[in-house]
């Protein structure tokens, strides 16, 4: 487990990360969301052992990461602009990382390169940005580390490739102790990958939630009641986050389980009541509005 406690990092007068406390459980895909400059990269660089926190602690499996090679041997950090050796080929890079990561799987690497249609002997400097990102993920996965830190790695990947990467992650998650941490400025990019999400804003963590838990505990419902008294009574029983009314139709976002909410509504015999699909984006909009933020301005 990665635990960051009250982590602060300044760059001169700029506060890049301010008092961040985050726990990333083993075996989950953790998404780190935030606008540019929110502190995602700085946070990941501290988790990756590149930067030393000014204060607070960053632990991986209860051991400090910075200047701790045995701990760093379990972490592979893919920066937003990954460095490749001059004039190197994917094979050269695989050999490069093999020297540092003892569990680097060369055979798997070659297989994955083939699957992604990347030439092992091709010059990386001729690759497109997307191809380089694919290569970075392949190298990261093949390094066999427990933690894989991906900084904006998925941004710009086409849906097919994202699906492919997702399936690789799924495979890794099922086969070994693997915890990817993915930073992105785009929530939609992470929606179908992450188990848990933390939102960073202005250097601090706005919130950290388990996605499944969030999806199970928040619902979007449209309903029409027989009269105004029923309507008022029914809505009064619900924990409404957002409410919209179009004529007699109520569109409400409500906290609670599906069964619990529907039971309460049906007890007033509505004319019509159904659950609408809720996107991760809508969930976050609702959640952050509660704490006083307009997330549209923060993330989308």
Partner 1 sequence: MISRNLFSKLVRQDLKKRIWCPVLIFIAYFLSMEVRLLMETEKYLKNAREYNDDLYDIATYVSHFFFGREAWIVSVVTCVIAFLCGISGYAYLHSRVQIDTYHSLPVSKTQLFWSKYISGILQFFFPFLIHTLICAGIAANRDAFGMETVPAVMSYIVLQLVVFVLAYSTTVLAAVLTGNVIVSILGTCVLFAYSTFVSVLTDLLAHRFFQTYYTYGNQLGVWFGERISCFSPLSMLLRLFARPYSVTQESAQTFFKYDSAYMWVLIAAAAVYSLAAYVLYLKRASEAAGRPIAFRAAEPVIRTMLVIPVSFFVAVFFSVISPDSASDKWFLFGLVFSFVILSVLIGIIFRLDIRGAFLHKRQFLFNAACTALIFVVLRYDVTGYDTYVPADAQLQGCAVSVCNLMPLTQHVRVSPFGYHHLGADDYRMANMVIQDNPSVTALARKAAEEQLTYQRFDYYEGIEQVPKYIDTMERQQQYQQIAFCYRLRNGRTVNRIYYIDLADADTLRLLSDIFADQDYKLGATPLFNDSWHIAFDVVRCKSNFRTGEIRLTPEMQAELIGTYQKEYMELALDTVIHVIPVGTVDFATKNDYGYTSYSGKMMVYPQFTETIALLQEFGFDMEAKLTADDVEKIRVQKNLDYSRYQNETAYTVSEEDTVEFTGKKQIQQILDSVVSDGFVWEIGSFADYFDGQYIVEIQYKAKDSIENDYHFIKGQIPDFVKISAKTD
Kindly list the residues in this chain that would bind partner 1 in the complex (CB under 8 A): 11-12, 45, 48-52, 67, 69-73, 75-77, 79, 81-83, 85-86, 96, 99-101
Burial of 297 (0-12, 13-18, 19+ CB in 10 A): exposed
For the bound state, the minimum distance from the C-beta of residue 49 to partner 1, rounded and expressed in Å, comes to 6
For the bound state, the minimum distance from the C-beta of residue 9 to partner 1, rounded and expressed in Å, comes to 8
Whichever of 52 and 129 has its CB closer to partner 1, that residue is: 52
Whichever of 49 and 270 has its CB closer to partner 1, that residue is: 49
Give the number of other CB atoms < 10 A from CB of residue 118: 18
- Measure the CA–CA gap between 101 and 145, rounded to whole angstroms: 8
For the bound state, the minimum distance from the C-beta of residue 15 to partner 1, rounded and expressed in Å, comes to 13
Burial of 35 (0-12, 13-18, 19+ CB in 10 A): middle
Burial of 8 (0-12, 13-18, 19+ CB in 10 A): middle
Whichever of 95 and 215 has its CB closer to partner 1, that residue is: 95
For the bound state, the minimum distance from the C-beta of residue 73 to partner 1, rounded and expressed in Å, comes to 4
Whichever of 101 and 178 has its CB closer to partner 1, that residue is: 101
For the bound state, the minimum distance from the C-beta of residue 119 to partner 1, rounded and expressed in Å, comes to 20
Whichever of 70 and 159 has its CB closer to partner 1, that residue is: 70
- Measure the CA–CA gap between 86 and 79, rounded to whole angstroms: 17
For the bound state, the minimum distance from the C-beta of residue 140 to partner 1, rounded and expressed in Å, comes to 11
Whichever of 15 and 50 has its CB closer to partner 1, that residue is: 50
Q: Is 273 helix (H, G, I), strand (E, B) or coil?
A: strand
For the bound state, the minimum distance from the C-beta of residue 122 to partner 1, rounded and expressed in Å, comes to 18
Whichever of 12 and 292 has its CB closer to partner 1, that residue is: 12
- Measure the CA–CA gap between 162 and 160, rounded to whole angstroms: 5
In order of 3, 25, 79, 111, the CA distances from 29 in angstroms are: 15, 9, 17, 23
């Amino acid at each position: 487990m990665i635990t960051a406690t009250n982590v602060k990092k300044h760059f001169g007068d700029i506060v890049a990360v301010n008092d961040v406390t985050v726990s990333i459980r083993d075996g989950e895909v953790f998404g780190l969301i935030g606008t540019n400059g929110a502190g995602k990269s700085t946070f990941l660089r501290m988790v990756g052992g590149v930067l030393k926190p000014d204060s607070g602690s960053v632990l991986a499996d209860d051991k400090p990461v910075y200047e701790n090679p045995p701990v760093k041997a379990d972490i592979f950090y893919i920066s937003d602009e990954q460095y490749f050796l001059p004039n190197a080929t994917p094979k050269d890079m695989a050999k490069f990382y093999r020297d540092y990561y003892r569990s680097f799987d060369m055979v798997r690497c070659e297989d994955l390169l083939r699957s992604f249609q990347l030439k092992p002997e091709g010059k990386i400097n001729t690759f497109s940005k997307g191809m380089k990102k694919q290569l970075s993920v392949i190298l990261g996965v093949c390094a066999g580390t427990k933690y894989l830190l991906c900084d904006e790695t998925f941004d710009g990947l086409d849906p097919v490739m994202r699906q492919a990467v997702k399936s690789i992650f799924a495979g890794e998650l099922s086969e070994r102790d693997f915890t990817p941490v993915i930073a992105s400025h785009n929530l939609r990019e992470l929606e179908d990958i992450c188990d848990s999400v933390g939102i960073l804003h202005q250097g601090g963590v706005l919130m950290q939630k388990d996605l499944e838990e969030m999806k199970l505990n928040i619902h979007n419902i449209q309903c029409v009641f027989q009269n105004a008294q029923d309507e008022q009574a029914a809505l009064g029983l619900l924990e409404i986050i957002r409410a919209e009314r179009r004529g007699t139709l109520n569109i409400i976002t409500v906290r609670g389980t599906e069964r619990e909410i529907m039971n309460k509504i049906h007890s007033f015999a509505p004319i019509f009541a159904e659950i609408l699909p809720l996107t991760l984006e809508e969930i976050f909009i609702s959640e952050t509005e509660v704490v006083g933020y307009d997330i549209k301005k923060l993330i989308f």
